[in-house]
Structures are given as structure tokens and as C-alpha cells.
Amino acid sequence: MTGVFLPLLDRERRVSITQQIFIGMRSAILSGALEKGSRVSSWQDLSAQLGVSRGTIKRAYELLKDQGLIVTKGRGGTWVSTTLPDEPSENLPSARAPRGLFYDFEGGPQYFQLGVPAQDQFPSKAWHGAWRRAIAMESAQTRIYPDPQGLLSLRREIAGYLATARGYSCHPNQVFITSGFAGALGVVLGAMGLRGTKAFVEDPGFPRTRLALQQAGVETIAAPVDHEGVKLPISERDVRFAVLTPGQQAPLGMSLSAARRADVVDWANAADAWIIEDDYAGELQLSGRATSALAADDRFERVLHIGSFSKTLNPGLRLGYLVVPSMLTTLFRTFVECLAPAGSVVAQQAVQNFMAGGHFYRHLRRMKTLYARRKTLLVENLRREIHPGVRCDYEGGLSVRLFFPGTADDVAIANEAQKAALGILPLSPWYQSQEPGKGLLLGISNVRERSVRAKSEQLSRLISTHTYG
């Protein structure tokens, strides 16, 4: 059975045509107008019927596929999935967690969980001291509204940190305290009016960023990543911004090469576009000296730099910072005052105390050494245990990547690993393109000497059963 459905398009709307097709077909599928298991028009046919380019339809189909609403069977055509995700409450892309991004909010972290700091090496004494002083300061102060941009003393510390550790000089007035990277991204989308526009995202790239943009009605254009980092397909027109991880490409780990850094900044300037720099792992680059922030090369005031304390201190703090070009400070100040003021002053004060006491820098230095050691340990064990057909890539980043040959089901393997509390992520959901790489991402921060061998053996058995068994 072929489902005939032509989404209504309004070319006057600010929402892109891709997004309109995506939203139209999505509600048709969820309402049952396009039945489960029915065949949908090929993107070539739909492009002819609607009079829009094939690329536009193809991208809308990719978004539907990302959300598990359709399946493509190569020459066998495109079909509505037979099992659909839960119906969401509003006419926006689903708020489901992306497939294959596991978060355990209660227990954990699991052994190879990515994106969390080492649990056993935190400088608790200095941290408690910083909080005790912060609480005393809060009690001694008048109870008035705090600066919505964030505590000036913390913004000064962050500006100092960026200058020394990330080679980026900025004024504290350019710094905004946010609820991590996620909060900062929301602020940028709102303040800059970027909802419903078009953006480059890295492919592969952080699935949560892609989902966040899709929820804001942004059409995401995949920018491929090679050994030098991301390469923007600059012939694509009307792209308003790019979200990039130049310091440590997520998930592949390399730093953006000098030539590519120049390319992306030049593109932003020529295209009158913006770069959102996701510096999620900041200075935590394990081999050699950390490359400086891309914002440090920003001759044209086009880069909005975002840092987070999630990897360096604790994701539970929900603290990060956004640094905007000086000409945008008033715009952002007005926005955050009304819609996204910085959070608890006690938490901000505690981090400021911790930084001012020199503990943050010391902690980062220690973690770099520790993580490098843990990564080496893990790689040695994986090399011994894992089937030689699985490629192990460990250069750069806070992860080790395992790549499978052929068509192994990395999501199924990661699901099994999840049940065994290994906390491994599948690689394929990090891709937007039609042919994702298949593999696994292993976090290294909580690898321990006494258990790494047994965990590697356990993982090896799992992979062998699924891939070679």
C-alpha cells in the first residue's frame, strides 16, 4: 500500500521547506493519516510533485528516519515504520532522547560512560571549603536580585582562565553564566533569532545538539568530518550558523587543523553567519598542549564560545559559560535578564572560590595525567582482548572508539553492554548521513587498573557474539 500525502507548503513562512515537509509528514504519520507500514513516495517523486529540490526532500526524510518514523530499504523504497515512537504532545520534533544516548540519572556512572568526570579523584576537601565559604558569603549578604549575567567575580575568573588555558582574551562583560552548554545553546538560539533557520552540524556529531536544533525548527545540514576535523560544505546557501567542536571533535577526538580553523572563520565572515564553538572539554586535551579556542582566531567577531564545567567538575552543577563578541553584549544581556538569568549564586560563588584558590587549575592538570594513564591502560587491554578485525582508534578525545567492519548492529551491542552496566555508546546515532559508521564509544575517565581487564574481556565476548559469532 502506498500512502499518498502532500504536505502543504508556505514559502512565506520563516520555517524552512525541509522543516515544513518534516513536520507535515511527521504529524501525518503520528495521526495515522499515513498508515504504519505503508509505502511513502520516493524523494524523487515527492520533489517533482512539490516542485522543490531533491536535496530538500532527502533531508526531510533523513530527519524522519532519525526519529524512527520511516525506514528506507534502498531500492525497496521508503516506508512508514511499523512500530512508531510514543506520540509527543506538541507539533514539534519529538523530545525523546536520541537513540543510543544513555543517561542513568539515578545510579551510575557505568564503567565506560562517556562525558562524566572521574568519580574517585575529586578534590573533595578543597571543594567543600569553597562551598562552605560560598554559603557563609550568601548568609552575610543582603537578599537582592543578583546580576542576571552571572556573578562578576566568577566571570572575571572565567575570563582569566580562558586567557591562560584557552589562549582567548575576552572582557568579563562578554561572559554569561549559563546552565551548561545546553543552556547556553538555548540562549544563543533565542537571542540571535536563529530558530527556524539553517545550520551546519558535524557529521558525526553530538546527537543532542542535532536534536536540540531540530526542536528549535532548525534545519541541520551535515558537514562531514575527516582526519583534519570538520569540512563545511560551503556551497550550501542560506546557512545562518554552525555548531562545531574545534578543540576535540565529538565524537572522533581530533582538534580542527589550522587550515580548517581559518576556513570556518572565513566562511562565517563571508556568509554573514555565526559559529557556535562547543568547547565542552576545554583544556582536557590529553596529548600535547591543548589547541587554543577557535574564538581566539576570530578576527571578524563571528564566534560565540561556550564552555562547560560538566566534564571538568561535575555535570550536576549545571554550570557553563557563554562568551559573545563585544558588539553583542547588550543584545544578550537584555535576553538573559528576561528569559535565562544565571542560576544559584551560591553555586557560582563556590566555583569562583574554587578557581580563585588555584584548585581548578591543579585539578585539571591532575585529571589530564590521570585520564591519559587510564586511556593507555584501556587501549592496552582492548588490543589484547578485542577481535583484530575491530579497529581501535584512541588519538585525541576523552574516549576510545572501536569501529566494526561491515554492518554490525552497534545499537544492539551497546544495548547489551548497557544491561551489563558497561555504559558504552553506539557510534551510528552520532551520524546524520545515510551511511553511518558502526562502532562503539568508550569513556576512559572511570577505567580502573584492577577491573579493566575483566571489563575488556566482557566487552570482547559481547562484540564477538554479535559480530563474529
Ligand X SMILES: Cc1ncc(COP(=O)(O)O)c(C=O)c1O
Contact footprint for ligand X (CB under 6 A): 115, 180-182, 206, 245, 250, 278, 280, 308, 310, 315, 320
Smallest distance from ligand X to CB 173, Å: 22
Q: CA quadruple 463, 393, 200, 337: dihedral positive or negative?
A: positive
C-alpha cell at 109: 556512572
Q: Residue 459 CB, nearest distance to ligand X (Å)?
A: 21
Query: Closest CB to ligand X among 102 and 335?
Result: 102
Q: Is 203 helix (H, G, I), strand (E, B) or coil?
A: strand
Minimal distance in Å, beta carbon 185 to ligand X? 8
Write down the least CB distance from residue 398 to ligand X, Å.
Answer: 9
- Closer CB to ligand X, 34 or 351, in the complex: 351
Residue 202 or 385 having the CB closest to ligand X = 202
- d(Cα 354, Cα 153) in Å, to the nearest integer? 12
Query: How far apart, in whole angstroms, are the C-alpha atoms of residue 58 and residue 392?
Result: 33
When the beta carbons of 21 and 116 are compared against ligand X, the nearer one is 116
Q: Of the two residues 253 and 320, which places its CB atom closer to ligand X in the complex?
A: 320
Angle in degrees, 0-180, between the axes of helices 207-215 and 54-66, rounded to the nearest 10: 110
Nearer to ligand X, 100 or 180 (CB): 180
- Decide whether 201 or 462 has the Cβ nearer to ligand X: 201
- Residue placing its CB nearer to ligand X in the complex, 181 or 200: 181
Helix extents (H) in 390-446: 410-419
Cell of 170: 575576552
Is beta strand 320-323 parallel, antiparallel or unpaired with respect to 175-178?
A: antiparallel
Beta carbon of residue 245, minimum distance to ligand X (angstroms, whole number): 5
Residue with grid cell 582508534, as numbered in its chain: 393
Q: What's the rounded Cα separation, in Å, for the pair 170 and 243?
A: 20
Q: How far is the CB of 281 from ligand X (least distance, A)?
A: 8
d(CA 122, CA 372) in angstroms, rounded, equals 16
> By C-alpha distance, which of 298, 265, 292, 264 is closest to 279?
292
Cβ closest to ligand X, residue 304 vs residue 408: 304
Torsion of CA 185, 186, 192, 194, to 10 degrees: 90
Asked if 410 and 404 touch (Cβ cutoff 8 Å), the reply is yes
- DSSP code, position 87: P
CB of 336 to ligand X, least distance (A): 16
In the complex, the smallest distance separating the C-beta of residue 353 from ligand X, rounded to whole angstroms, is 21
Q: Are the CB atoms for 256 and 290 separated by under 8 Å?
A: no
* Cis geometry, peptide bond prior to residue 251 (ω within 30 degrees of 0): yes
The minimum distance between CB 35 and ligand X, in angstroms, equals: 38
- The answer to whether 409 and 465 have CB atoms below 8 angstroms apart is no
CA separation for the pair 60, 219 (Å, rounded):
9
Residue nearest ligand X (C-beta atom): 180
